[in-house]
């Protein structure tokens, strides 16, 4: 397979400068304010985005540690295969978060519910559309069944840095 290169479209600004103590999911940071500062030339690409309540942010986890095929995630003391978790220590450390869109000012998005670190490179963003992004029918959550609510208060430690 050939190498794929991406250029960041901007930077995420958040109150979290250290991985240790940062929220592990947007659900655990509902009131945390942040910004997506896009490259100025991308401001026209934000036209009509303000009508959406949420956006999907796709970003590079720039402070993630090296790939680990098996990890102990934050919400379970048992080890799991990396791809059955949302741990950042991935072959390609790509993060994805659904956050509230509070406004658009020029090339800047005002966000709420950020869970990524300050100065995180932003790769792309998309509007969140429940009719597209929420699968119909019953959803299974594997080993996370009954544990997802713990993300409200769980904070990261240094295990993936």
Domain ranges of the chain: 11-64+71-130
Q: What is the pTM of this model?
A: 0.86
Q: How far apart are CA 130 and CA 147, in angstroms?
A: 23
Q: What is the pLDDT of residues 96-133, one digit of tens each?
A: 999 999 999 999 999 999 999 999 999 999 999 998 88
HSE-up (13 A, CA, CB side) for residue 29: 25
Q: What is the pLDDT of residues 5-24, one digit of tens each?
A: 999 999 999 999 988 777 76
Q: What is the pLDDT of residues 35-80, one digit of tens each?
A: 999 999 999 999 999 999 999 999 999 998 899 899 988 777 899 9
Question: For 152, left (φ over 0), alpha (ψ -120 to 50), or beta?
Answer: alpha
Write out the CATH class of domain 11-64+71-130. mainly beta
């Amino acid at each position: 397979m050939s190498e794929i290169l991406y250029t960041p479209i901007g930077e995420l600004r958040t109150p979290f400068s250290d991985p240790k103590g940062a929220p592990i999911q947007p659900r655990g940071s509902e009131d945390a304010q942040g910004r997506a500062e896009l490259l100025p030339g991308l401001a026209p690409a934000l036209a009509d985005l303000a009508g959406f309540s949420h956006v999907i942010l796709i970003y590079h986890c720039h402070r993630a540690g090296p790939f680990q095929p098996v990890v102990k995630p934050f919400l379970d003391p048992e080890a799991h295969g990396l791809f059955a978790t949302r741990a950042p220590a991935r072959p390609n450390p790509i993060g994805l978060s659904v956050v509230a869109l509070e406004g658009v000012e020029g090339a800047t998005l005002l966000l709420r519910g950020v869970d990524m670190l300050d100065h995180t490179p932003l790769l792309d963003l998309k509007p969140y559309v429940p009719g597209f992004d929420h699968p119909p029918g019953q959803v299974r959550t594997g080993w996370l069944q009954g544990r997802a609510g713990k993300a409200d208060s769980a904070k990261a430690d240094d295990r993936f840095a």
